[in-house]
Amino acid sequence: MTANMERMISLAEIVKAEAPRGKSSYPRRKKFSQWDLQLLVIPSVIFVLIFSYLPMYGIAMSFQEFRLGDFPGMSQWVGLKQFGALFRDPNFLTVLRNTVVISLLKMLVNFPLPIVFAVFINELRQKTVKKFMQTISYLPHFISWVVAARLMFDFFSADGGAVNQVLMTLGMINSPIAFFNRGEYYWGLAVGTDLWKELGWNSIIFIASIASIDIEMYEAADIDGATRLEKIWYITIASIRPTIVLLLIFTVGGLLNANFDQSMMLTGQMGNAMLRGYADIIDTYVYRVGIQQARFSFAAAAGLFKAVINFALLLGANWLANKLDESALL
Amino acid sequence: MRRKKTVGDIILDIMVLLTMLLVLIATLYPFLNSLALSFNNADDTTRGGITIWPRIFTTRNYELIFANSKIYKAYSITVLRTLIGTVVGLLFTATLAFGLSRRNLRGRKFYTYFCLIPMYFSGGLIPTYFLIRSLNLLNNFWVYILPNLVNLWNMLLMRAYFKSVPDALEESARIDGANYFTIFYRIILPVSMPIVATICLYIGVFHWNSWFDAAMFISSQQLKPMQTVLISIISEAKFAEQIASAAAGASVDVGSIGRGKVVNVRSITMATMIVTIIPIVIVYPFLQRYFIKGIMIGSIKG
């Protein structure tokens, strides 16, 4: 609590204690009249209604055949026709594959590494170094993918980019590799650039969790002769297990998202034909097919498919966590 | 209680050290390199080999972009939407969070579920587009502000924080006859500065980095933000780069002509980029302890 808060609280306690009893000097409130509280809340609720709930009619669009001129949500009903077309479309299957692969890779690599980084940060002894490294580590999180993509293009550039220079100096390759022009490299690049951008930020919650671990446990472990590695595994990581599980549930629930911004920027808004087959994900597909090709119902079906699967995954992960007796979301 | 250092200890120390070095270099190098390029003479950059320090220092690249009205316009759009969007967004988010944090709110359960559902489920891009269109927000500055008034994740963070404020504050204010507006504005808010700072940062960064809503909903060049300008400058550079690399094998003359053009665009690109990221890069370290606390409260106690 801030010092400010503490001062206000002690003042408040005094005022409350001094309040005259019996003969109330404060205006009588009818038991449930809280028009002022409701008024504070209602404008925001209306906003949520308009911008979050109204678009939900889009769900109806997935089961209809939208024609130009139709009022959205009032087109002819065609049942599961759109979904049938979706699964028969080879483009969509490629897109689905890309989305799942990229997300799984990110989960495999970019989920554990922030935990490792947090543990390492915790092992640093000087406080200034700790703070400095932390501050630097989340610098890339605050820039947009527009900027990040440009930086990464330069970093991996075949024309004097740092990565190629280092690889050549180490003798691992003979001539520069044009990383961003090879489709097969895209998945690795997507994971790597995402790691570069979000490692520091994602480690914050773990660092904060670790900071709240009771020091006495480490001291007790010392007495029992534990090595540093053992302390890390049995105390540090074990203590932040609830946090890890919670975040894992969230990650699984976002599996089909795979970062629209990143995909658009790393491919020059899908301009790079060599990458398209590997970089197209569900969200970019919906954007291209829905907005640019104006196949609204079709794209709406893809979007709904994604939302439903994500939600099912979230519930599934949560159920599994509960089953394994871990702390869960719901 | 100092044990002797074991081999395992030393290996761990080395790994920690290497990791920190790697993170430090990999994170900072791209930025320092771009900074150096932006301050380097454009023709000299052709020769390549610039790492983290400019070889021939010049401010010409910045002079060029500050003289460009397109950049001024875009910058002012970005600044305007960030300022307005942050203030208004904070207002709507905080009031909702405050209401939901009061246990005596009538309909609290309903409101809470009402706000929880859209976090897991949304209509998607297409219906949102139609909604924006029917609200006449297409090609309208307010499309930057109005659809973003409340971010439900932010709202949850604020609600958790407001809940942690001791009841005594509100109660004594009520005894003094304060209504909820006063309680919110004069009591709870001043005491919640950490979470306010955090959310302001989150909303601010969102607006500052936004490019997609401009791409989707805005067609007028007058209303495009900095990120969009950056995108168009970058794609110009990419185009010139592709011409250059196609010509690079042919002959020295053609190659260097192409590369000269590339690099001029490249220097401008770097300068524009630096100008775009500087405000955030400068601000975020100062708000560090606030958003760290914010994340902690939101995820652990939320």
Position A17 scores a pLDDT of 60
Lowest mean pLDDT of A158-162, A298-302, B80-84, B160-164, name the range.
Answer: A158-162
Q: Of A39, A142, A283, which has the smallest distance from its Cβ to B280's Cβ?
A: A142
Domain count across chain A: 1
Question: Is residue A109 one of the residues assigned to a domain?
Answer: yes
Q: Quick one: which of A195, A188, A211 has its CA closest to A138?
A: A195
Report yes or no on B30 lying in a domain: no
Residue B35 lies in a domain: no
Contact A300 B127 (CB under 8 A): yes
CATH number at residue A238: 1.10.3720.10
Q: Is the pLDDT of residue B293 over 90?
A: no
A137 to chain B, any CB pair closer than 8 A? The answer is yes
Is residue A212 in some structural domain? yes
Q: Which of B102, B125, B171 sits opposite A286 (nearest CB)?
A: B125
Phi, psi of B40 (to 5 degrees): -100, 150
Instruction: Judge whether B36 lies within some domain.
Output: no
Q: Is residue B197 part of a domain?
A: yes
Q: Is residue A26 part of a domain?
A: no
pLDDT at B186: 86
- DSSP states along A160-225: T-HHHHHHHHTTS-SS---GGG-GGGHHHHHHHHHHHHHHHHHHHHHHHHHHTS-HHHHHHHHHTT
Q: What is the pLDDT of residue A7?
A: 64
What is residue B40's three-state secondary structure? strand
Range of the domain at B294: 61-302
Q: Give me A287's structure tokens.
A: 């954007």
Q: Is residue B277 part of a domain?
A: yes
Instruction: Report chain B's mean pLDDT, rounded to a whole number.
Output: 84
In a domain, B135, yes or no: yes
CA gap A191, A199 in Å, rounded: 11
Band of pLDDT at residue B202, cut at 50, 70 and 90: very high
Indicate the number of domains in chain B. 1
> Which pLDDT value is given to residue B248?
47
pLDDT tens column, B228-247: 988 888 877 666 666 655 55
Pick from B77, B78, B216: nearest CA to B147:
B216
Q: Is residue A130 part of a domain?
A: yes
Residue B248 sits in a domain of what CATH number?
1.10.3720.10
Considering only CA atoms, which of B232, B224, B206 is closest in space to residue A269?
Answer: B232
* Structural domain boundaries, residue A182: 81-323
**Distance (Å) from the alpha carbon of B213 to chain A's nearest alpha carbon:** 12
A85 domain-assigned: yes
Interface contact A180, partner B, CB < 8 A? no
Average pLDDT of the segment spanning B294-299: 72
Residues shown for chain B = 302
Average pLDDT over residues B114-143: 87
Q: Both tokens of residue B40? A: 């380097």
User: Which pair of structure tokens corresponds to residue B249?
Assistant: 């094998």
Rounded to two decimals, what is the model's pTM? 0.85
Q: Which pLDDT does position B97 carry in this prediction?
A: 94
Question: Is the residue at A290 inside a domain?
Answer: yes
Contacting A residues, span 31-60, partner chain B, CB-CB under 8 Å: 32, 34, 36-41, 43-45, 47-48, 50-59
pLDDT value of residue A187: 93
Give the 3-state DSSP-derived string for A52-96, with helices as H, strands as E and coil as C. Answer: HHHHHHHHHHCCEECCCCCCCCCCEECCCHHHHHHHHCHHHHHHH
Q: What are phi and psi for residue B118, nearest 5 degrees? A: -65, -10
- Chain B's closest residue to A226, CA to CA, is B3
**Chain A residues near residue B96 by CB distance under 8 angstroms:** 40-41, 44-45, 48
> Are B199 and B158 contacting, i.e. CB atoms less than 8 angstroms apart?
yes
Residue spans of chain A under pLDDT 70: 1-32, 329-330
Report CA dihedral (B256, B260, B265, B267) to the nearest 10 degrees. 110
CB contact under 8 A, A124 and B20: yes
State residue B206's pLDDT score: 95
